[in-house]
Amino acid sequence: MDNFLSDENQPIILYVEDNPDNRTLVRRILMAYDFTVLEAGSAAQALEVVRDQVPDLILMDINMPDIDGYTLTSQLKDVPELFNVPIIALTANVMKGDRERSLEAGCDGYIQKPIDVDTLPTQIRRFLSLKR
């Protein structure tokens, strides 16, 4: 998996997602908007990536085969270096209670799937500005 080194002015986004097609889509969108994109295909990989580099924001898929996004969010929020890093849940689940569940797990917001190519960069910028 290609994880690109960051330019100082480019916010670093970690995208945790088991589906490679989704990763490709989001990587293309975000790179076109000058974000630096780190990727993890599983919870285990995500934990590895954040050991090397603290991202400015984490996009978190919820449905993953090993550890789900809720559980991983709780684990990441326990890492002191990541305490202030916003975690945004990406969920295809439109069931009632998903928003509440992601907030309970420690997510700072959520974006609904399918991903809207036109609004994703704006949504991410908004979440990044809330952080500051």
Which residues make up the interface to Mn ion (CB under 5 A)?
18, 61, 63
Q: Please state the closest distance from residue 1 (CB atom) to Mn ion, in A.
A: 16
* Residue of minimal Cβ distance to Mn ion: 63
Q: What's the min distance (Å) between Cβ of 63 and Mn ion? A: 4
CB of 17 to Mn ion, least distance (A): 6
Here the tokens at position 4 are: 């690109």
Of 63 and 75, nearer to Mn ion (C-beta) is: 63
Q: Where are any strands of DSSP class E within the chain? A: 12-16, 36-40, 57-61, 87-91, 109-112
Residues in the chain: 132
